[in-house]
A and B are shown apart, each in its own frame.
Chain A
Amino acid sequence: MGRLILRRIVQLIPTLFGVVTLAFFMLALSPGDPARVMLGERASQARLDELRTQLGLDRPLIEQYGLYLSRVVQFDFGTSIKSGRAVTEEIADLFPATVELALAAMVFASFTGIVLGVLAARKKNSLLDTASMAAALIGVSMPVFWLALVMIMIFSVGLNLFPTGGRMNIRYYFTPITGFYLLDGFIVLLREGDPKYLMSALHHLVLPAVALGTIPLAIIARVTRSSMLEVLGQDYIKTAKSSGIPDFKITFVYALRNALLPVVTVIGIQFGLLLSGAILTETIFAWPGIGKWLYHAIEARDYPAVQGGIIVISTVFVLINLLVDLLYSVINPRIRLQ
């Protein structure tokens, strides 16, 4: 197992190299001049040339690439053109917010999706099955930004149940400890016995997480259903039935463990995609995470920030895939031995 993990980590290196290369050249070759963006339309040629030299933009592209590579290896993504802060620092500040949102969305999507899928498979062609699969189809078809807006209109503006944006009641003047507000709120609750931060963080998390999780939920439910249907027809399920194992246990232990393999793959892929979905959701819900930040960086042609953002999100995607692969071997003993 240890060797497997090590081998997989070594295999990550070329992938990540490709990511960095793509991120660099995609932006370097796209039209527009970062120096011009920074200094504005009316800057003098002399000032422009000075900044180009300062940023290294006057050197040959391949040299810029080499320099960029050497800095990225040291986790240095350069300085944000817009804010003047180090990109690494900005990302580190914002990342917990995105991870918290993505995790919440994924937990919601996976749990609900798997339960719905299993129930639909057990009661195949029943009202529950048809209704939940129809709902799943609608869920898959909805664009996330539209859903987010509709949810704000209904639940925030209309029913006044949830806040329209942000991560915490601004009147609390909350200073984050870890940056994961749920965790922070919990720490405060343990230390001071005051649950208001935890409740407020949770309250703010519900709508964006549900909005972001709806599409993955729908996909997970459909995959779980079809996978369960296949597994429930297998001989070993018949064996379990003929051995008198209770139905509940057959469904949720004997069958689900087998049916989970394709579901885990889908969860992994969806988790990665969700990070890009977060760009829209975070923007709509004013969620101070990487997505919203990246959105503004793209808008402002803040090249170092965009490159850094792309690399970080891609790296997370790749790491999640690694995790999924390792999870496989935990779930499926047939893979473990190969």
Chain B
Amino acid sequence: MDEPLLSIQDLKVDFSTNRGLVRAIRGVSFAIRKGETLALVGESGCGKSVTAHSITRLIPTPPGRITGGKILFEGVDLLQIPEPKLRDLRGSRISMIFQEPMTSLNPVFPIGSQIMDVLLTHTKMKKVDARAKALSLLELVKIPAPERRFKSYPHQLSGGMRQRVMIALALASPNPGLMIADEPTTALDVTIQAQILALLEDLKEKIGMALLLITHDMGVVAEVADRVAVMYAGRVVEEGEVFRIFENPSHPYTRGLLESLPSNPLYKETKRLKAIPGSVPDMITLGEGCPFANRCPLVRPECTLAFPEPTTLDTDHKVWCYAIEEEPVL
């Protein structure tokens, strides 16, 4: 296996709140190879976004603090390099798009000049060339009449259009390596969602960049991801190739997630949707053990004491669970 583009190793992030220290990320590890799409899946509050924001150190500090781990991007630990070096990477090699296209673009500047600004920050382009490049980016993300839209302000565009502009902004670099998309379609309606996902897929192919897709939507995962990392309460509990995860979900939480889907690929005959009993643990009082222990049907005494080491099930399928040997293979 070749060197991964991005490798996160045992990342830990804390937030201090009025109620106490929230250990939001408790040792997350996963890797993305060049040109691949990894979906980071989990429910709200499980730490998906915090993980994504940690990659380019965009966690608001305080209250947040990265307390441990490594984030290797092309072999360089992003947590160790000085701020100016990291800034050079942001927007040029690693770019981000966010959940809220309505508020993610600066309302007082025309979209064209916002894209040009990023280009001019990262290259020694002349203004004329930056303009031409910005126009071609708008065209690339399939904005109709880009020449006319260039001078539009964000409020003059629909949500879908704005998300396209966000993508163009994220691509405004001579050499994009990784795009982090934090729930890019959550705020859009379903038809637009499909268009944006198709666009992301298409661009990924064309440009050859890797995509870290953060989502809680298993349908989206099935559609675009090559690999999946499932997160629960600040931990990755299962990671692997998308087909292996869908065919052989090995962590009880992953199985619970899939069973709660209406178009469940596992149990096609199921009439009633299953829900996972219980609720997400309080991240302040949660102990060292497996965070899923209090809801898990296969819970054992050791589960509450320490988080398990990963078990490799296949060449590209890992699961963090004590109960793995006992599970029925589906």
A residues bordering B, Cβ < 8 Å?
234-236, 238-246, 254, 257-258, 331-334, 337
The reply to whether A244 and B108 contact each other, CB–CB distance below 8 Å, is no
Complex Cα distance A337/B166, Å? 23
Interface size class of B (residues with CB under 8 A): 20 to 34
CB contacts (< 8 Å) of A243 on chain B: these are 90-91, 95, 117-118, 121, 169-170, 172
Once A239-B106, A258-B107 are accepted as A-B contacts, the answer to whether A244 and B88 lie under 8 Å apart by CB is: yes
Contact of B104 among A239, A246, A254, A258 (CB under 8 A): A239
Contacts of B89 in A (CB 8 A): 244
- Determine whether the beta carbon of B108 is less than 8 Å from that of A234: no
Give CA–CA (A216, B298) in the complex, Å: 67
A257–B117 CA distance with the chains assembled, in angstroms: 15
A236 touches B103 (CB 8 A): yes
Smallest CB separation, B291 vs chain A (Å)? 28
Contact status of A246 and B155, CB under 8 A, knowing A236-B107, A239-B98, A240-B106: no
Contact A239 B108 (CB under 8 A): no
Binding site for A on B (CB under 8 A): 56, 58, 87-92, 95-96, 98, 100, 103-110, 117-118, 121-122, 153, 155-156, 166, 169-170, 172
Instruction: Please tell me which one of the listed residues B105, B121, B155 contacts residue A245 in the complex, with CB atoms under 8 A apart.
Output: B121
On whether the beta carbons of B95 and A333 are closer than 8 Å, the reply is no
Closest Cβ–Cβ distance, residue B285 to chain A (whole Å): 28
- State whether A241 and B155 are in contact (beta carbons under 8 Å apart), knowing that A331-B108, A333-B108 are contacts in the complex: no
Instruction: Please determine whether B87 and A246 come into contact, CB atoms closer than 8 angstroms.
Output: yes
Q: Is the CB of A257 within 8 A of B56?
A: no
A334 touches B153 (CB 8 A): yes
Given contacts A244-B87, A244-B90, A244-B91, contact A238 B108 (CB under 8 A): no
Ordered nearest first, which 8 A-B pairs have the shortest CB separation?
A: A244-B91, A243-B91, A244-B90, A242-B96, A235-B103, A236-B106, A235-B104, A333-B153
What is the CB-to-nearest-CB distance from A143 to chain B, in angstroms, rounded to a whole number? 38
B108 touches A258 (CB 8 A): yes
Asked if A236 and B121 sit within 8 Å, CB to CB, the answer is no
| Contact A244 B155, beta carbon cutoff 8 Å | no
- A240 neighbours in B (Cβ, 8 Å): 106
Q: How far is the CA of A184 from the CA of B27 in the complex (A)?
A: 71
Closest to A245 in B: B121
Whole-angstrom distance between the alpha carbons of A40 and B292 in the complex? 96
**Smallest CB–CB gap between A321 and chain B, Å?**
22
Within the complex, the shortest CB–CB distance from B246 to chain A, in Å, comes to 31
Contact assessment for B91 and A245 in the assembled complex, using a CB-CB cutoff below 8 Å? yes
Cβ contact of A244, chosen from B100, B106, B118, B166, cutoff 8 A = B118
Do A257 and B108 contact each other (CB < 8 Å), given the known contacts A235-B98, A244-B122?
A: yes
For residue A55, give the distance in angstroms from its CB to the closest CB of chain B. 55
CB distance from A31 to the nearest CB of B (A): 54
CB of B121 within 8 A of CB of A334, answer: no
- Which chain A residue shows the least CB distance to B90? A244
Query: How many Å from the CB of A335 to the closest CB on chain B?
Result: 10
Apart from the given pairs A241-B90, A243-B172, A334-B155, 6 other A-B contacts in the complex at a CB distance below 8 Å: A236-B104, A239-B106, A239-B166, A244-B88, A244-B90, A245-B117
Can you list 8 pairs linking A and B with CB atoms under 8 Å apart?
Answer: A235-B100, A238-B104, A242-B90, A242-B95, A243-B169, A244-B88, A332-B108, A333-B110
